[in-house]
Amino acid sequence: MRPTEALARIRRYDGRLKAFVQVFDPPLFGEDDDGPTVAIKDLFDVAGVPTGGGAQVPLDPSPARHALVVERLLQGGYSAVGKTHTVELAYGGWGTNRAVGAPWNPWDAKVHRAPGGSSSGSAVAVAAGLCDAALGSDTGGSVRIPAAICGVVGLKPGRGLVSLKGVHPLSPSLDTVGTLARDVTAAARALAVISGPDGDAAVRHPFDAGHALSADVRGRRLAAIPIEGLGELHPEVAQLYMEALERLRSTGVVIDMIQPPQALETSFTPNGLLMAGEGWRIWKDRIEAHAEVMDPWIVRRFQAGRDVSDARLAQAHAERAAGQAEFHAWLSQYDGLLSPTCPIPAPPLDTIDETTSPLSRLTRAANYLDLPGISVPCGLTDEGLPVGLQILGRPRDETSVVALGAAFERVSGWNGQSPDLSGFEP
């Protein structure tokens, strides 16, 4: 969409949606004034613009330069229309933020439902058609979770494909940068633009979106986790998941219903230990200085890392390496692994239990095991709330993840459904 159209939609709808913390009017133009529009999670530096990080006290009041991925988007012809809400310091899956407020999931104008986190505003902005694509970070599902429960596509690469330079960290061993968009094509093209090593290496964009989007998936063999191996699921999530598998079979793929050697949720606790242990070491001074104006639940999560000793953290990394080796060996016989993205649809904000993290129960494994993944919409519940299908790939095989996501999208019946925004008009 043209930048002028994006800004008009933001002015019309974002007063209630609150996807953006700052709107760029005029936009930050790249090489093409009429290129695709993009929103930037407020964890990424934009030169001269405060990086809030979801906090009352900015992480950087005036960055000297753009994050490398922002620079690449501008060079690639994208126009940046603003910075979007995030869970404070990106540490939460619900999308709540008691420090600066939470965006509104656009699929329900009457009830303030969770937008998903931590890339909450990016998902809301894309779902509401306020931009063509958005940047997010994903440490335990923070791109895929909000994508799933806001009804958009969330694409998370493996570590190393996309630079983290200029992106404020949560857990350096788990952090990745991903893209959100209304369809797989737009998400994949944005990933191609931002991918590549740090600096000005000759090979700037090693991910070939065109190749991935045109790949034939017929005959590919996929593993799908059976319902009984997924833990507690909302009944409609389970139903839509099984229907999604049948639709995907119609593309010519072969799907084996099989439980992996490690259930996805076994990664939940060790992934959380790494986040807390590494996050506390990074943000300790800030938390001790500003705890009184921070989201208290975020403070508690970081403080859990105080008791993680250096020896325990080293042991956790060794355990992770062993778990990765076992899982990667098993996954090598398949082209992908299927599950629901989230076990429940978006709940009302006032019913959320901040001591639990069910939305990330099936997503953290991708970060812990260092696998690329995508969440693609696979239907709506009877209440009209989106549900996502998660496709995980073999290490460094973003091409298959995108190919399978695009193949499913063509048969999903979703057809670019979007929420009714009439209830969000002033």
> CA-CA distances (angstroms) from residue 105 to 47, 257, 330?
29, 33, 37
Q: Which of 120, 142, 163, 400 is catalytic?
A: 142
What span, in angstroms and rounded, lies between the C-alpha atoms of 282 and 291?
15
Q: Which of 18, 79, 118, 119 is catalytic?
A: 118
What span, in angstroms and rounded, lies between the C-alpha atoms of 195 and 208?
9
Q: Is 142 in the active site?
A: yes
Q: Which of 18, 41, 83, 156 is catalytic?
A: 41
Q: Is 118 in the active site?
A: yes
What are residue 414's phi and psi, to 5 degrees? -70, -50
> CA-CA distances (angstroms) from residue 234 to 113, 230, 346?
16, 11, 11
What span, in angstroms and rounded, lies between the C-alpha atoms of 66 and 257?
45
Summarize the chain as % helix, strand, coil (round to 5).
40, 15, 45
10 Å Cβ neighbour count for 366?
A: 29
**Greatest CA span in the chain, whole angstroms?**
57
Catalytically active residues, by annotation: 41, 118, 142
